[in-house]
């Protein structure tokens, strides 16, 4: 035991020494950069990419391995054949080793854009053109041509997007979804569609007196411009857990605002987002721990390796109840018992996940998850994503949780709403009900750095030009 402790102390001392050797100038640069730039630099620092001249780069970087690699020469290694994997790396106790920091190195949409039909793969020429157009939209400055002066959008989201957007090279696949074969989320059940329609009508009622409906922006699709709705004081039909920046156009209390505004924006499964995301996996003989960094919002997940049954059905948890076991070289995780306040693509407490984590080689983990909720979708669906290993040495100091501003900002947002109401009551300001304060409804560059419509709309989704 004494010998083991000495070895552990030596390893810890070595890690501390490596941390102290990190370039002090680089640490100061990260510390004093603006909040948005600091986040962007952190995402770059995790070792995703290296070439400063490749098309589709963000802040001068682009992917060099995995799905993002253009040719084997780009990585100085032969590509891994589909369906094959290297001999599994093992932990000291003999189980497959999944440990490390893992992140995607390409951008692939969750659903296949309709323009690609049944096609699974893009050509290199198509990928290069998408990279070029996306880089142009995200990096373009806030010139007069893309601003609408005197509007809410001008102060809301019509500015340069590069500091807030993680732009990786476009991957070969047209969707992360591999089943159904059309690469699309299955249709909703009639009951789920009815529930969404009810919520949508409530959203439109609250947007009705705002510029979003007056200007007929896409966020008001299906609605119309008119006076303040008498529904403004209604209780929503469900807990508002999805959507960034507020799912409804109101701020009567914290429940009106989104989880992301409250620094609780992560979900499960997690495929990363437009502002980054990575996972740090640590293993023990009876447990796997995952730290998810969601572009500034961190959360821990514990997965026991056990044959014990799930918790009783009446016990519900925000991220569900995970139970893991090894199937050969694959970690299989069964997840149930989600909270009714949980949200994934509009599904809640009845979601059932089966995750499969397989290390294909020294640098790659394949993550496959089957998602089932018979109360939400007409059939199960499956997503596959490859994650690339990042440098432990370059990232070992970045453990601190972030997004604390949400804990303060939300209180200020609610206070501001009360001040606006009082000012209006005194005849000194506009009716707060006429101001657009939702994320996806008010227009501007809010969907991953893309505009709602026009030449700056998402090239993945818009028709080929």
Provide the 3-class DSSP secondary structure of residue 170: strand
Q: How far apart are CA 370 and CA 353, in angstroms?
A: 6
Mean predicted confidence (pLDDT) in 179-190: 97
Give 356 or 7, the one with higher predicted confidence: 356
Place of tokens 């018979």: 374
User: Could you give the 3-state DSSP secondary structure of residue 363?
Assistant: coil
Element (H, E) at 366: strand 364-372
CA distance 154 to 389: 40
* Higher pLDDT pick, 262 / 368: 368
Decide: helix, strand or coil at residue 24: helix
Q: Which residues of 223-260 are buried (b: 16+ CB within 10 A; e: fewer)?
A: beeeeebeebeeebebebbbbbbbbbbbbeeeebbbbb
Token pair recorded at residue 246: 């507020």
Structure tokens at 115: 């323009």
Distance CA 64, CA 195 (A): 44
Q: Which of 444, 385, 456 has the alpha carbon at shortest distance from 109?
A: 385
At residue 362, the pLDDT reads: 94
Read off the pLDDT of residues 77-132 as tens digits, 9 standing for 90 and up. Answer: 333 444 455 566 999 999 999 999 999 999 999 999 988 989 999 999 999 999 99
In angstroms, the Cα distances linking 17 to 25, 45, 99 are: 17, 20, 22
Helices 24-32 and 35-45 meet at what angle, rounded to 10? 140
Report which secondary-structure segment, H or E, holds 293: strand 287-293
Helix or strand or coil: residue 350?
coil
- State the CB neighbour count (10 A cutoff) for residue 390: 21
* Cis upstream peptide for 269 (omega within 30°): yes
pLDDT tens for each residue of 273-287: 666 678 899 999 999
**Quick one: DSSP state of residue 356?**
E
What secondary structure letter does DSSP report for 146? Answer: G
Whole-model pTM? 0.77
* End-to-end CA gap in the chain: 68
Q: What is the radius of gyration, based on Cα positions, of the chain? A: 23
User: Two tokens at 460?
Assistant: 């993945």
| Predicted pLDDT at 147 | 62
Does residue 243 carry a pLDDT above 60?
A: no
Nearest to 45 by CA among 66, 67, 23: 23
| Stretch 37-53: mean pLDDT | 34
Task: Report the C-alpha gap between 110 and 388 in whole angstroms.
Answer: 18
335, 269 Cβ separation under 8 angstroms: no
The answer to whether 210 touches 249, Cβ cutoff 8 Å, is yes
Q: Report the mean per-residue pLDDT for the chain.
A: 77
Q: At residue 60, does pLDDT exceed 60?
A: no
Helix residue ranges, H only, 75-177: 124-139, 152-156
pLDDT at 239 over 80: yes
Residue 306 near residue 197, CB atoms below 8 Å: no
Compute how many other C-beta atoms are within 10 angstroms of the C-beta atom of residue 292: 19
pLDDT tens, residue by residue, 409-456: 888 889 999 999 999 999 999 999 999 888 767 876 666 667 777 777
- 245: pLDDT strictly greater than 70: no
The mean pLDDT value for 209-238 works out to 92
Query: How far is the C-alpha of 272 from the C-alpha of 103, rounded, in Å?
Result: 8
> Which residue do the tokens 């970045």 mark?
398
Q: Which two tokens stand for residue 307?
A: 């044959």
- For the chain, the structural domain boundaries read 278-395
Q: Quote the pLDDT of residue 331.
A: 98
pLDDT at 87: 60
C-alpha dihedral (130, 134, 137, 139), degrees to nearest 10: -140
Q: Which residue has the tokens 């007056």?
A: 214
In the block, residue with structure tokens 């009567």: 252
Q: Who contacts 43 (Cβ-Cβ below 8 Å, separation ≥6)?
A: 166, 275, 276, 295
Contacts of 293 (CB under 8 A, 6+ apart): 276, 277, 278, 279, 280
Architecture of domain 278-395: Beta Barrel (2.40)
What's the CA gap between 232 and 417, in Å, rounded?
A: 14
């Amino acid at each position: 035991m004494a010998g083991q402790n000495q070895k552990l102390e030596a390893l810890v001392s070595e890690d501390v020494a490596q941390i102290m050797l990190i370039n002090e100038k680089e640490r100061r640069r990260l510390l004093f950069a603006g909040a948005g730039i600091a986040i962007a630099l952190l995402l770059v620092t995790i070792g995703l990419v290296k070439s400063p001249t490749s098309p589709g780069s963000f802040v001068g970087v682009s992917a060099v391995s995995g799905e993002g690699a253009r040719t084997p020469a780009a990585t100085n290694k032969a590509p891994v054949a589909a369906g094959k994997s290297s001999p599994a790396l093992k932990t000291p106790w003999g189980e497959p080793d999944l440990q490390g920091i893992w992140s995607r190195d390409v951008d692939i949409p969750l659903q296949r854009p309709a323009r690609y039909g049944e096609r699974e793969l893009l050509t290199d020429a198509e990928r290069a053109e998408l990279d070029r157009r996306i880089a142009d939209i995200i990096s373009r400055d806030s010139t007069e041509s893309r601003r609408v002066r005197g509007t809410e959008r001008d102060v809301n989201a019509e500015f340069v997007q590069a500091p807030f957007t993680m732009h990786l090279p476009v991957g070969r696949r047209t969707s992360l979804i591999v089943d159904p074969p059309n690469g699309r989320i299955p249709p909703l059940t009639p009951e789920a569609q009815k529930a969404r329609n009810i919520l949508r009508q409530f959203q439109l009622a609250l947007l009705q007196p705002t510029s979003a409906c007056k200007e007929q922006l896409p966020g008001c699709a299906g609605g119309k411009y008119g006076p303040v709705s008498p529904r403004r004081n209604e209780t929503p039909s469900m807990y508002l857990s999805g959507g960034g920046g507020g799912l409804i156009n109101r701020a009567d209390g914290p429940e009106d605002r989104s989880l992301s505004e409250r620094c609780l924006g992560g979900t499960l499964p997690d495929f990363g987002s437009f502002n980054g995301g990575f996972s740090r996996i640590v293993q023990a003989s009876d447990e796997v721990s995952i730290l998810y960094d969601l572009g500034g919002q961190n959360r821990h997940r514990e997965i026991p390796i056990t044959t014990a049954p799930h918790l009783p059905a009446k016990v519900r948890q925000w991220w569900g109840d995970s139970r893991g076991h090894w199937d050969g070289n694959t970690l299989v995780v069964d997840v149930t018992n989600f909270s009714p306040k949980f949200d994934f693509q509009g599904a809640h407490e009845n979601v059932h996940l089966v995750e499969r984590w397989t290390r294909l080689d020294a640098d790659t983990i394949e993550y496959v998850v089957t998602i089932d909720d018979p109360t939400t979708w007409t059939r199960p669906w499956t997503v596959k994503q490859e994650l690339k290993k990042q440098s432990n040495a370059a990232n070992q100091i970045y453990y601190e949780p972030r997004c604390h501003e949400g804990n303060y900002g939300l209180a200020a947002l609610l206070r501001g709403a009360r001040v606006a109401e009082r000012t209006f009551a005194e005849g000194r300001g506009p009716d707060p009900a006429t101001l657009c304060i939702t994320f996806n409804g008010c227009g501007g560059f809010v969907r991953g750095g893309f505009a709602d419509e026009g030449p700056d709309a998402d090239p993945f989704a818009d028709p080929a030009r």
